[in-house]
Structure 1
Amino acid sequence: MRQGAGWVALGVALAMGGAAAAQEAMPEGWFLEEFARSGLTDIYLYWLDPAVGGQVLQISCQEGWPDVSIAAFMDEPETEPKVLSVVAGDRRVDMASPVSGVVNERYSTGGTTLFTPEVMDILSGQFSVEVDGVEQGRYSAAGAGDEFARLFEACPVDGDGT
């Protein structure tokens, strides 16, 4: 896994969250954005919620690399988060030592893992995001199949995380 990928993804996530919050009429739902620079394409799939004024979840990867970063936007906890998890039923993927911070009055914590078939399977249906075992939100890929497919195709792994 590339060192620093989580830091870069979280930084962009926080910046995008601030920009999204500045919009006058914010839609709700999944949105896919791609940014090409220096021959690399960064792909961001995020859930906007106008009730909170911005993003509540972001899933991102860099095309051709098997790393995926997941960031949850939430109220700032009393203690620094230790684990961010994506959960679907009895399946879960934990990301220890998430990167956290406050930008534009929004707190975010994010982690990076490999985009394995298990992670893709969890994100393909209904799933929850937890921080230190506390559910931060429930989400569904329903209605956003093309967006999730683009993310999954861009950052493939061969089944063992390479």
Structure 2
Amino acid sequence: MEELLNDSIIEMVNDGILSMRGINNLIFIKSFIDRVASKKFIDKEAVMNLEKKYGVRPNIITWGDYFQTQMATTLHVLSDDEFDRAVDTLKFDIIASYTIFSEKDRSFFEWVELTYMTIMNHKEADFTPDEEEIIHLRILMDYYENVGIVNNFTESEMYWFAGFQEAQAQ
């Protein structure tokens, strides 16, 4: 059985560091990411090798595990409202990543990578809005490729996403 909360953050739960709302958000983000990810954070063979070598199975195996523990350990200091926004941002970015990259050919991926590298190699600070957009596009591309995002989004998630897009357009 797959756990709702990664073992890495159980101590935070037991110590009362995370609110119930935060815990619910963390459960959501793990199940959401695991549902739309076609790749594991660590593949089965690597898990078996690590377990054989060290006698213990790694705690973080799926991308859901990764995002859940990252959010718990880095964002636990936020208010519940701020934590909600962080979860919504990640959810939006994951759906946007699929929406943007799923039907693009390899040349678009290469253009994003080349443009990103050009920006990063020639600038240290004060990015223009266009440069910030490319940097964000590269993050979305990394999500798409590394997590292997597939269209297992629910109808309500897509409706929520469309609502955000409409609000931004106005």
TM-score (norm 1): 0.27
By relative contact order (CA 8 Å, sep 6+), the higher-ranking structure is 2
Higher fraction of strand: 1
Which of structures 1 and 2 has the bigger CA Rg?
2
TM-score (norm 2): 0.27
Higher fraction of helix: 2
